[in-house]
Structure 1
Amino acid sequence: MNTPQNILRRDAVERMTGLPKSTLYAKVAAGEFPKPIKLGARAVGWLEHDIASWQLARIEARAA
């Protein structure tokens, strides 16, 4: 069985990444950022693990 993960709402993702809402969604559309999961009719969130993995990939790309 999978371990439950934290789901972050958009405002938390913006704070973690430093990216504004428009850039987040543009990167999602371009396949450059993890897709959100639908939580309800008008609510989405991102898995904390996906955001952390994205951040680590940016750090590793910088070192290359």
Structure 2
Amino acid sequence: MAAQLQTAPTILRRKQVEQRLSISRTTIYSRINPKSQHYDPTFPKPIDLGYRSVGWIESEIDAWIASRIAASRAAA
């Protein structure tokens, strides 16, 4: 039986998330801040990469995009 290769998750930096979603830095942080009126509990949480550095797991961003597409199609 062939061994399955496991790949490490890809981490997207903030600018990559901005470009991928076509949203601003402010919008990203508004969606993850529970005190914001634009808070979205379904939006992927960032992971801490070190001092003043965060990233997002690419597969979580992809899943969030897919959920937004599905919600949009269901509403139509």
User: So what's the TM-score if we normalise by structure 1?
Assistant: 0.91
Specify whether residues 32 and 22 from structure 1 end up closer, same or farther in structure 2 by C-alpha distance, changes over 3 A only: farther
Which residue of structure 2 aligns with residue 45 of structure 1? Answer: 55
Provide Cα deviations, 1:3-55, integer angstroms capped at 9, x if missing partner. 41000000000000011000001111122411100001110000000100010
Higher relative contact order (CA 8 A, sep 6+): 1
Count of paired positions? 63
What CA RMSD, in Å, does the superposition of the two structures yield over aligned residues? 1.2
Choose which of 11, 15, 24 in structure 2 pairs with 1:7: 11
Return 19-28 or 2-11, whichever deviates more: 2-11
Q: Which runs of 5+ in 2 are unaligned?
A: 1-5, 34-38
**Aligned pair 1:25/2:35, yes or no?**
no
TM-score for both structures, normalised by structure 2: 0.77
Q: How far apart, CA to CA, are the structure 1 residues paired with 2:72 and 2:21? A: 15
Q: Give % identity.
A: 43
Runs of 4+ aligned structure 1 residues displaced above 4 Å come to none
Q: Which has the higher helix share?
A: 1
Structure number with greater Rg is 2
Structure 1 unaligned runs (5+)? Answer: none
